[in-house]
Amino acid sequence: MSDEAPTSLILAIFIVHILILLGYCHLAIANRNVFAELIVSQTQEFGVNVSREDILRHIDICLIAFAIAIIVEIILSLRIIYSKKKREVV
């Protein structure tokens, strides 16, 4: 019984974290241009000139990083489930 609780907790944390990352991805994709315009206007208020294309490129890089993190967490979750099933069989 003591082995099941930490494994279930870790899986729950992974699932919640995957959902959070999916939410960030959805916001970044749906509001990509709005975020870029907001960042450009905010940086211009402080006297810094940043191009809109640079901001969009950085948003794309963040989306790629989020996608990689989601894939890694899914793989780790599947490995935990597989090792848990393997222990139950033995």
Whether 30 has a pLDDT exceeding 80, the answer reads yes
Q: How far apart are CA 61 and CA 89, in angstroms?
A: 42
Whether 49 has a pLDDT exceeding 80, the answer reads yes
DSSP 1-65: -TTHHHHHHHHHHHHHHHHHHHHHHHHHHHTHHHHHHHHHHHHHHTT----HHHHHHHHHHHHHH
Report field, pTM of the whole predicted structure over 0.85: no
53: amino acid identity, one letter: E
Average pLDDT over residues 2-18: 80
